[in-house]
Amino acid sequence: MRTQVGIIGAGPAGLLLSHLLHQRGISSVVLEKHSREHVERRVRAGVLEQGTVDTLVRAGVGDRLLREGLPHQGIELRYGAESHRIAFDKLVPGRSITVYGQQEVVKDLIAARIEAGGDIRFEVDDVALHSLRERPYLTFGDGERLDCDVIAGCDGFHGVSRPSVPDGVLTVYERAYPFAWLGVLARVAPSADELVYARSERGFALHSMRSPEISRFYLQVPPGTDPGDWPDERIWAELKTRLETVPGFTLATGEIFEKSVTPMRGFVTEPMQYGRLYLAGDAAHIVPPTGAKGLNLAVADVRVLTEALDSFFATGSADLLDGYSRACLKRVWRAQHFSWWMTTLLHTFDTDDDYGRRLQVSHLDHVTSSEAAATTLAENYVGLP
């Protein structure tokens, strides 16, 4: 087989890249190790920046997003028995976020690619990358081979793309946080109209949502926590303790149908390319989820890579491809900083002393009382241009 771009991974990055390239007349094949059902059911992020929404709509895959997504014009910071709204509509007019599950984005993209005759191969095993500096090709399955001009590694943090780069080429920057998130999905209407970020002495909690009938919650827990150690009753009791801290707020409860634990870490690899291999999304960077940047960074990478590939195949010039890492990493590091900032602003740390806790509250007071500080939070949260 031969194609112009071989894409590893049928997550949002790989699928969106394939779709955008198709619209530019550039051929691609997507290889995915999991089944279509698994990919479409895999629960991940749910907050889409303004730029991500605009990209999906312009790509013609935003109809259901616009119909079913939940636009939000702000978020709530809750601490010290008080609630403070960061109003996007006031601070960054014309820009907002939309709550729409990553798995729904994936469903929309798969449907669009199949309708357009796209080549997505699910349940592909033994993918290997070859000849990355010359004439790249992929092998997979029972000796099948895919020749291509470029390989896009969109296969996540644990994929095969990044480890295929020779030792010593990539520099890795990473930070592990001393806690994790216990995330749950529950069949209960949200108890708030917008996301609630709550700081308490018992740890961080987040009230989010996926639809008018499904709510998403997160609890700060120790790293290595086993979800099995958290029966439903314990989860609801802890969420109530951390969220029911302001007058008049009562947390509605319901059936919990999914539990998972997410480690908190920051990770960046530089550069995001080697030869004719280009990394995008989680294959190149991970952010703690506090700032809601993971999926949005992947979409931003794909926008840059699409323009570079379009130029390459149209003119033969590799200038934009050569500058791919440089263009992406500026945004990646801004998102890393914002995610670190949100994480340290709202979580408790084992090393905290009274002095550290007072500094944290002082910082929160500044963010919620200064329009300039609140604007900085808002413009980063809704996504930079």
SS3 287: coil
Say if residue 313's pLDDT is above 90.
yes
Say if residue 140's pLDDT is above 80.
yes
What value does the mean pLDDT take over residues 206-233? Answer: 96
**What pLDDT band is residue 268 in, cutting at 50, 70 and 90?**
very high
**What pLDDT band is residue 353 in, cutting at 50, 70 and 90?**
confident
pLDDT of residue 134: 87
| Whether 197 is catalytic | yes
Give the angle subtended at the CA of 77 by the CAs of 71 and 81, to the nearest 5°.
Answer: 135
The active-site residue out of 177, 289, 324, 347 is 289
pLDDT of residue 216: 95
Which residue carries 């029966």 as its tokens? 231
CATH of domain 175-264+350-382: 3.30.9.10
The active-site residue out of 107, 285, 293, 347 is 293
The active-site residue out of 197, 274, 278, 324 is 197
pLDDT of residue 356: 87
Among the ranges given (5-9, 41-45, 50-54, 364-368), the one the predictor scored with the smallest mean pLDDT: 41-45
Say if residue 242's pLDDT is above 80.
yes
pLDDT of residue 43: 77
Taking the C-alpha atoms of residue 348 and residue 361, their distance in angstroms, rounded to an integer, is: 11
What is the rounded end-to-end Cα distance, in angstroms, of the chain?
39
pLDDT of residue 44: 77
What value does the mean pLDDT take over residues 185-206? Answer: 96
| Beta strand 171-187 pairing with 215-221 | antiparallel
What integer best gives the mean pLDDT of the chain?
96
Domain ranges of the chain: 5-72+97-173+265-342, 175-264+350-382
The active-site residue out of 19, 33, 72, 207 is 72
| Whether 293 is catalytic | yes
pTM, rounded to two decimals? 0.95
What value does the mean pLDDT take over residues 94-116? Answer: 96
Say if residue 104's pLDDT is above 90.
yes
| Whether 381 is catalytic | yes
pLDDT of residue 42: 83
**What pLDDT band is residue 341 in, cutting at 50, 70 and 90?**
very high
| Whether 289 is catalytic | yes
**Which residues make Cβ contacts (< 8 Å) with residue 302, sequence separation at least 6?**
13, 16, 17, 20, 280, 281
CATH of domain 5-72+97-173+265-342: 3.50.50.60
- 70-72: strand order across its sheet: 47-48, 97-99, 70-72
Q: In this predicted model, which residue has the larger pLDDT, 102 or 350?
A: 102
Say if residue 31's pLDDT is above 90.
yes
